[in-house]
A and B are shown apart, each in its own frame.
Chain A
Amino acid sequence: GDSVTQMEGPVTLSEEAFLTINCTYTATGYPSLFWYVQYPGEGLQLLLKATKADDKGSNKGFEATYRKETTSFHLEKGSVQVSDSAVYFCALAGGSYIPTFGRGTSLIVHP
C-alpha cells in the first residue's frame, strides 16, 4: 500500500538557518503530494502541495519539489524563524484512496 516516510525529529535550528525535512514515499501511479503544518494547540493546515512530477509547491517561504525519480518531496526553507516552530507532516494521495500521512517531524527554532 501507499506509505510516507519522514525524517524523525525533533529538528532543532537557530533562527535564520536553512531547513530541510526529508520525505520519501511509496505509491503506485502518480499521487499528489502535500506538506501540512501543525502549530502548537491547533489542527493541521495545508502548507503546500504538488500534483505532478517536477511541480514545485511553495508557500510562506517554504518549498518542495515533486521528484518522481527519487520518490521524494523534501521540504526546504532558506531562513527559518521562531514562528516556524511546529510539527510538519508529509502526505500523499494516490488513486482514489484516502490520503496517507507521515508520522510528522517536529521543528524547534531557537532565537
Chain B
Amino acid sequence: DAGITQSPRYKITETGRQVTLMCHQTWSHSYMFWYRQDLGHGLRLIYYSAAADITDKGEVPDGYVVSRSKTENFPLTLESATRSQTSVYFCASSDGIGRSGNTIYFGEGSWLTVV
C-alpha cells in the first residue's frame, strides 16, 4: 500500500522558473490538500480539493496553481518561483473533513529551495 507519495523530494530552482510538485494517493480519498511549512508559521494551507475538478484556495494561495483532473493526483505548480516560496511542501489526503474526525494522511514532504 503506497499511500501518498510526493515528488520530487528535493528541488533547487532559480527565481522565475516554473516548478511543479507532484502528489499521488492510492486510497481514492476525496479530499486532497497542499500545505507549506515554515519556521515560525507552522503549517499553512495553500489549496485544497474536495473532489476531481473541484479546488479552492486556502490561507496562502498567491503564486500557486493547482489542478485535479483525476482523484488520485493533485499537482501544485509555482508559476514563477520566488525566494519567499522556499519551503517544505506537504501534500495530504483525507476521506472527509469537519467534525466527523477523519484522519488527514500526509506525504513525506518536498523540500524546495529557490535561489
Contact = CB atoms under 8 A, between A and B. Distances in A.
B58 interface: yes
Contacts of A32: 98-101
A30 interface: yes
Contacts of A29: 99
Of the four ranges (under 10, 10 to 19, 20 to 34, 35 or more), the interface on chain B belongs to 20 to 34
Given A44-B90, A98-B58, A99-B97, A93 B42 contact: no
A102 B42 contact: yes
Most buried by A among B33, B45, B104, B106: B104
Contact of B108 (A43, A93, A102): A43
A50 to B, nearest CB: 8
B23 to A, nearest CB: 11
B101 A51 contact: yes
A56 interface: no
Contacts, number: 64
B109 A43 contact: yes
Nearest to A102: B42
Interface in A10-46: 29-32, 34, 36, 41-46
Interface in B66-115: 90, 92, 97-109
B98 A42 contact: no
A32 B105 CA distance: 16
Interface string B8-49: 000000000000000000000000010000001111010010
A43 B43 contact: no
B98 A95 contact: yes
Nearest 5 pairs of A and B residues by beta carbon: A43-B106, A103-B42, A32-B101, A51-B101, A96-B98
Interface of A: 29-32, 34, 36, 41-46, 49, 51, 89, 93-99, 101-104
7 contacts: A32-B100, A34-B103, A44-B43, A44-B104, A93-B100, A97-B97, A101-B42
Interface of B: 33, 40-43, 45, 48, 58, 90, 92, 97-109
